Homo-oligomer: A and B are copies of this chain.
């Protein structure tokens, strides 16, 4: 077997930095492909290919208006990622607490 496809789930899709950039740009308002190309300074085919991956996992939605395609981030699709990371939150809090305690021990041993 090989590495899972980028289109297999949200985790794989957002592993690519440019796709994260695109998602950040498209979350506050929809943009045409040309806008994204201009804003990120990427090649147009490259942007189209990234958008295809994002669409495959429903991270973006599309709307056609004449010749242009307007994409927007579907923020809801990012929730599974957020939820997964949240399950670790209590532990990094504990770690901070532990680090703090150790620091205090060093100050007043």
Q: Chain A interface (Cβ within 8 Å of chain B)?
A: 3-4, 6, 11-12, 14-17, 20, 23-24, 27-28, 73-76, 78-79, 81-82, 84-89, 91-92, 94-96
Interface of A is mostly: helix
Closest beta carbon of chain B to A57's beta carbon, Å = 12
Q: Are A87 and B24 in contact (CB under 8 A)?
A: yes
Known contacts A3-B3, A74-B95; can you find 6 more A-B pairs with CB under 8 A? Answer: A3-B16, A11-B15, A75-B88, A76-B96, A79-B85, A79-B92
Q: Are A95 and B82 in contact (CB under 8 A)?
A: no
Q: Which residue of B lies closest to A76 (CB)?
A: B92
| Copies of this chain held together in the complex | 2
* Listed A/B pairs (5) with beta-carbon separation below 8 Å: A73-B91, A75-B91, A76-B92, A78-B92, A81-B85
Q: Are B82 and A85 in contact (CB under 8 A)?
A: yes
Chain B hits for A89, CB < 8 A = 75, 82
Q: Are B76 and A95 in contact (CB under 8 A)?
A: yes
Q: Which residue of B lies closest to A28 (CB)?
A: B91
